[in-house]
Amino acid sequence: MTTPKSPGLAGIVAGETSLSTVGKKGLGLSYRGYAITDLAEQATFEETAYLLLYGRLPNRKELEDYRRKLVGLRRLPEGLRKVLEQIPGSAHPMDVLRTGCSTLGTMEPESKDRPQEQVADRLLAAFPGMLTYWYHYQRDGRRITTVTEDECHAGHFLRLLHGQTPEEMHRRAVDVSLILYAEHEFNASTFSARVTASTLSDFYSAVTSAIGTLRGPLHGGANEEAFKVIARFKSADEAEQAIMEMLARKEKIMGFGHRVYRVADPRSDIIKAWAQKLASDAGREMLFEVSQRIELVMKREKNLFPNLDFYSASAYHICGIPTEMFTPLFVFARVSGWSAHIMEQRAANKLIRPTADYIGPAQRAFVPIDERE
């Protein structure tokens, strides 16, 4: 039997990018050369999205204009709202976004008058509305307006979700998480988007592919799965015992480990600090203690570290976000990175089409149907 050259393409350099560095010596995680720590501390998500999509940090006027532009792109076409109303309330929110993205592509396709940058901004602006429109309609038949005047993407989503002005701490925590989630080099969903773009397919198809790829628990779906585990425990001791049992059964603990990082995920400390702040503000210290104990056990037993998804989970929970919406939040952010990658792929395109080692039967004679057993 031939051994695959690199299962899961681990360690394979599959192309070039000027968008981000992940785990590179001396560079750590950076977006277009800016350290993630600086962006998370000093920038907003809208600035970060502009940086990724348009290649540089906006000045004050450009940022104001960009924010207004996004506000203007929040309204959903009636046809899309009708489609969203048809999606069952039992559907997973990631499927709602996947369908919403695909549907919008039939109504507002790319064209000379609607170039790729316009599509990228439109999707970025429209995703929170798509999700919350479906959510409120399916929960209590309410047809909400998906337009708010909140110029902050995180604030806009929280307003649509809760129908009220979000607490400042929640708004900024979600804003920071969106910065951290915005871009991460050739991760599975981005690669998926680039593969689709490399066939010269349209923008919406590439983003739809990416959403489907992000959905799985080994990728974006990990934040939802991580919280389902954390939420089961009432104390740190209980968590420790259960995690030990899960590890003994060789179960994976979602929110730990990473394909590229070997020692730590540089995003984790940033979101962990927010998770702690939110927990103490909400009087939910036990949630943080449980999470910390799981981190300690995973380090001790498996030498594994939390990735961004682990502490994002409790941070989102405290902000009142339903668990099944955790991965959609990842979409709200990562659509900026995906879009920038689609544009980068198109600018120097080469069809992505690897080969495989064949491990099936040797060539054999075809058996006519009446002669088969």
Active site residues: 219, 258, 309
Q: What amino acid is encoded at 308 in this protein? A: L
Which residues touch 329 (CB under 8 Å, ≥6 apart)? Answer: 157, 174, 177, 178, 181, 316, 321
Site stretch for ligand COA (CB under 6 A), options 49-57, 112-120, 216-224, 354-362: 216-224
Residue 196 contacts ligand COA per CB under 6 A: no
Site stretch for ligand COA (CB under 6 A), options 34-42, 148-156, 299-307, 363-371: 299-307
Q: Which residue's CB is nearer to ligand COA, number 70 or number 211?
A: 211
Residue 307 contacts ligand COA per CB under 6 A: yes
If DSSP codes are grouped into helix, strand and coil, which group holds residue 345?
Answer: helix
Cβ atoms 337, 51 nearer than 8 A: no
If DSSP codes are grouped into helix, strand and coil, which group holds residue 234?
Answer: coil
Residue among 207, 215, 184, 198 at smallest CA distance from 354: 198
Residue 222 contacts ligand COA per CB under 6 A: yes
* DSSP sequence for 161-228: HHSSPPPHHHHHHHHHHHHHHS--SS-HHHHHHHHHHHTT--HHHHHHHHHHHHTSTTTTTHHHHHHH
Given candidates 69, 259, 277, 284, which one binds ligand COA under the rule CB under 6 A? 259
Site stretch for ligand COA (CB under 6 A), options 91-99, 113-121, 159-167, 300-308: 300-308
Given candidates 131, 236, 239, 254, which one binds ligand COA under the rule CB under 6 A? 254
Q: Which residue's CB is nearer to ligand COA, number 121 or number 295?
A: 295
DSSP 8-state class, residue 18 = S
Given candidates 27, 218, 244, 264, which one binds ligand COA under the rule CB under 6 A? 218
Site stretch for ligand COA (CB under 6 A), options 51-59, 167-175, 247-255, 273-281: 247-255
Alpha-carbon span 71 to 51, nearest angstrom: 18
Q: Which residue's CB is nearer to ligand COA, number 255 or number 266?
A: 255
Q: Minimal distance in Å, beta carbon 258 to ligand COA?
A: 5
Given candidates 100, 128, 129, 257, which one binds ligand COA under the rule CB under 6 A? 257
Assigned token pair, 237:
């001791």
Dump strand ranges (E) for the chain.
20-24, 28-31, 34-35
- Using Cβ positions, the residue closest to ligand COA within the complex turns out to be 257
Size of the site for ligand COA (CB under 6 A): 16
Q: Minimal distance in Å, beta carbon 221 to ligand COA?
A: 8
Assigned token pair, 358:
């064949």
Show contacts with ligand COA in window 3-32 (CB under 6 A).
8
3-state helix, strand, coil in the chain (%, to 5): 60, 5, 35
Residue 84 contacts ligand COA per CB under 6 A: no
Q: What amino acid is encoded at 192 in this protein? A: S
* DSSP sequence for 324-344: GGHHHHHHHHHHHHHHHHHHH
Classify strands 34-35 and 20-24 as parallel, antiparallel or unpaired: unpaired
Q: Minimal distance in Å, beta carbon 88 to ligand COA?
A: 27
Residue 253 contacts ligand COA per CB under 6 A: yes
Q: Which residue's CB is nearer to ligand COA, number 312 or number 336?
A: 312
If DSSP codes are grouped into helix, strand and coil, which group holds residue 35?
Answer: strand
Residue 75 contacts ligand COA per CB under 6 A: no
Given candidates 136, 172, 302, 346, which one binds ligand COA under the rule CB under 6 A? 302
Residue 240 contacts ligand COA per CB under 6 A: no
Using CB under 6 A, list all residues that contact ligand COA.
8, 218-219, 222, 252-259, 302, 304, 307, 309
